């Protein structure tokens, strides 16, 4: 066929046909094109179309292998990701030597935290286009530690999914931050290219921020946790909780819990008397004040 016939049949421009033919050849398909009166586009005789070949978009979506189906849907990436994975599954099944059940039948991934409510705010799908265009963003961020939303201009590295929660990883005045998407109440593109730091990528910046959150602290609390509550405490505090295996008694487990700020020790209140804080003194005093204020709040009316 001629390129004009292809363009007419597909309802696209000659330029699009030429671009797609170039891609087909680069992908290794047996397609040739000859110019001139007797020329045209030919697929070599006897060759078939390999349906397992991935399109550029499908190859790109394979980088999302860490996401579960719900997270792919949040990125509007379900269709192309499913096509890419189904093509790979087709090639694997044809080469299978042993009769094993497919992994998709015996492994299911759900990255959401337990008891997570439906969140609102900015969606990953609405933001991904602006992030991929490499533009600066002006966001309105409703931080829980501030009385009102703040307006900042950021240089985005990309979107980061951690424990079922989406974050925008970006520099603000050359300082890296993770902005929780559900707290971004408004955003718009700035007509300027992003200005990220040299030799930094989304993966390196996100890893550094996670490590900082898990290990940086201003206060270390020494405590004993009841045996029945130690696993719950591990789920809540993660790496911030360090258990002393040499200090175990009939009462419970001796632990050290790291907090970024003194105010953060309020996270121990839900454990009630199942946890006993031994020090430092300011942590015990702050918990006493918090508990007293809570008792006063729920005191019976006169």
Taking the CA of residue 154 as centre, how many other CA atoms within 13 Å lie in the half-sphere pointing to its CB?
24
- 115 vs 188, higher pLDDT: 188
Q: What's the mean pLDDT in 241-256?
A: 78
288 vs 206: CA distance, rounded Å: 36
Q: What's the mean pLDDT in 242-250?
A: 71
Of the given ranges (75-79, 191-195, 285-289), which has the lowest mean pLDDT?
75-79
Residue ranges of the chain that CATH labels 3.30.70: 219-297
Dihedral of the CA atoms 276, 279, 282, 286 (nearest 10)?
Answer: -10
Q: What's the mean pLDDT in 270-288?
A: 92
Sheet holding 241-248, edge to edge: 241-248, 252-259, 219-226, 275-279
pLDDT of residue 196: 92
**pLDDT of 302 over the 70 cut:** yes
Q: How does pLDDT run across 262-277, given as a tens digit for each residue?
A: 889 999 999 998 999 9
190 vs 135: CA distance, rounded Å: 6
**pLDDT of 133 over the 70 cut:** yes
Please count the helices (runs of H) and the strands (runs of E) in the chain. 10, 11
pLDDT of residue 146: 74
Q: Does the domain made of 124-200 have the CATH classification 2.30.30?
A: yes
Q: How does pLDDT run across 42-96, given as a tens digit for each residue?
A: 877 665 556 566 677 777 777 776 777 777 778 777 777 777 777 766 665 555 5
**pLDDT of 117 over the 70 cut:** no
277 strand-pairing partners? 223
Query: Is residue 32 very low, low, confident or very high in pLDDT (cuts 50, 70, 90)?
Result: confident
**pLDDT of 152 over the 90 cut:** yes
The owner of tokens 């990883």 is: 169
**pLDDT of 34 over the 90 cut:** no
Could you tell me what percent of the chain has a pLDDT over 90? Answer: 35
The owner of tokens 């992003």 is: 194
**pLDDT of 299 over the 60 cut:** yes
146 vs 133: CA distance, rounded Å: 31
107 vs 113: CA distance, rounded Å: 18
Compute the mean pLDDT over every residue in the chain, rounded to the nearest whole number.
Answer: 83
The owner of tokens 């992908």 is: 27
Residue ranges of the chain that CATH labels 2.30.30: 124-200
Q: What's the mean pLDDT in 181-185?
A: 91
pLDDT of residue 155: 96
Q: What's the mean pLDDT in 27-31?
A: 76
Contact 223/276 with Cβ under 8 angstroms?
yes
- Crossing angle between the packed helical segments 3-10 and 14-26, to the nearest 10 degrees: 110
Nearest to 233 by CA among 217, 201, 256, 203: 256
Q: What's the mean pLDDT in 140-157?
A: 86
Q: Does the domain made of 219-297 have the CATH classification 3.30.720?
A: no
The owner of tokens 């597909």 is: 10
pLDDT of residue 30: 79
Of the given ranges (76-80, 227-231, 297-301), which has the lowest mean pLDDT?
76-80
My answer on whether omega of the bond before 139 falls inside 30° of 0, hence cis, is no
């Amino acid at each position: 066929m001629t390129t004009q016939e292809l363009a007419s049949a597909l309802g696209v421009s000659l330029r699009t046909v030429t671009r797609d033919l170039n891609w087909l050849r680069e992908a290794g398909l047996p397609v040739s094109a000859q110019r001139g009166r007797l020329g045209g586009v030919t697929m070599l005789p006897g060759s078939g179309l390999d349906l397992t070949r991935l399109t550029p978009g499908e190859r790109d979506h394979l980088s999302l292998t860490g996401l579960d189906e719900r997270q792919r849907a949040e990125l509007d990436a379900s269709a192309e990701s499913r096509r890419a994975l189904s093509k790979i599954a087709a090639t694997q099944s044809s080469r299978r030597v042993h009769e094993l059940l497919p992994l998709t039948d015996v492994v299911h991934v759900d990255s959401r935290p337990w008891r997570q409510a439906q969140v609102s705010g900015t969606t990953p799908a609405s933001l991904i286009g602006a992030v991929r265009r490499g533009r600066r963003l002006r966001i309105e961020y409703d931080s829980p530690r501030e009385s009102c939303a703040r307006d900042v201009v950021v240089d985005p590295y990309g979107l980061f999914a951690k424990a079922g929660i989406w974050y925008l990883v970006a520099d603000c005045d050359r300082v890296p931050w993770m902005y929780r998407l559900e707290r971004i109440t408004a955003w718009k593109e700035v007509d300027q290219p992003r200005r990220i730091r040299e030799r930094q990528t989304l993966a390196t910046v996100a890893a550094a921020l996670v490590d900082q959150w898990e290990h940086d602290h201003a206060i270390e609390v020494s405590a004993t946790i009841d045996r029945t509550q130690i696993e719950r405490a591990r789920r809540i505090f993660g790496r911030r909780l360090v258990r002393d295996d040499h200090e175990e008694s009939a009462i419970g487990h001796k632990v050290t819990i790291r907090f970024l700020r003194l105010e953060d020790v309020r996270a121990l209140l839900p454990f009630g008397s199942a946890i006993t804080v031994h020090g430092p003194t300011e942590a015990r005093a702050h918990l006493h004040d918090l508990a007293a204020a809570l008792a006063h709040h729920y005191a019976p009316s006169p």
